Amino acid sequence: MSRSGPGRGGDRPPRPLAGRTVLVTRPTDQSTSLVTLLRRLGARAIVAPAIEIVPARSAALTRALRELQRGDFAWMTLTSRATVDMLASRLSGPRALGATRVAAIGDGTAAAFRRWARRDPDLIPATFTTSGLARAFPRGIGRVLCARADIAPVGLEGALAAKGWSPTRVDAYRTRFPRSLPTEARDALRRGEVDAVTFTSASTVRGFVGALGAVKGNPKVVCIGPVTAREARTHGLVVHAVARPHTVEGVAAAVMRALAR
């Protein structure tokens, strides 16, 4: 695979990733912003979704949403954009939240909530992890709705309970893992063309490792945060860079750092 150096000349914006190939393992409908950013930096960005998000349909979720609209919850936690998408699809509108306060992890989740609710979340922790949210959450009493992925790890609910709250956890959506990656991604990995693989959640690590075929070369592993990096190391991957901040912009910057070494 031929590679060129950084872009040159005139007023052209710098393209530090020109000639580089980067896999994006987010679900297709959530990959646009990262793909656009990587391509703007000159990379060949290949969408290789390692997970698929499907809506949850359960009596527990229906009951929790009914209680939410009734004003039974003092707070609701949003730990991903997919949870906002679930609210948008299941509620009549943001007014259904009433006076329930909202805590959101991450700029992407907060932005999705702003677009839908037309207001800011009441709490965005400085560290975009569930442990960061638990630390930033105030002490108090009342019910907290934690609508999360079916495979999200335990811990948040216990941390909130330790601060006096009564958390209710329900599955907001389900995560499926593909049996294989798209053809373009498989071929690029097989030919040793991939310079870096990006992971934006622990589940994308698990999905990628499960679907992984033959790989040539030594793609750099870039993770959005410490939880994702820990999952990668659990599967024997060497993590070359972790995004700071834990955003898609941070991931793009981490890719540049990893490939500059």
- Residue 43's contacts (CB-CB under 8 Å, 6 or more residues apart) are 17, 18, 20, 21, 22, 255
Give tens-digit pLDDT for 96-106: 999 999 999 98
Distance CA 237, CA 23 (A): 15
Give tens-digit pLDDT for 44-55: 999 999 999 998
Distance of CA 108 to the CA centre of its chain: 8
pLDDT for the residue 54: 92
Give tens-digit pLDDT for 123-139: 999 887 888 899 999 99
- Closest Cα partner for 223 from 204, 196, 207, 241? 241
Task: Place 246 in a pLDDT band, splitting at 50, 70 and 90.
Answer: confident
Nearest 10 degrees: Cα torsion 55, 59, 63, 68: -10
Task: Place 8 in a pLDDT band, splitting at 50, 70 and 90.
Answer: very low
pLDDT for the residue 106: 84
Distance CA 159, CA 50 (A): 29
pLDDT for the residue 4: 39
Percent of the chain's residues with pLDDT above 90: 76
Query: What is the pTM for the complete model shown?
Result: 0.81
Task: Place 154 in a pLDDT band, splitting at 50, 70 and 90.
Answer: confident
pLDDT at 1 over 80: no
pLDDT at 11 over 70: no
pLDDT for the residue 2: 33
* Average pLDDT estimate for 197-214: 89
Longest Cα separation, the chain: 60
Least confident span in 79-83, 121-125, 161-165: 79-83
Least confident span in 15-19, 79-83, 98-102, 171-175: 79-83
More confident residue, 133 or 9: 133
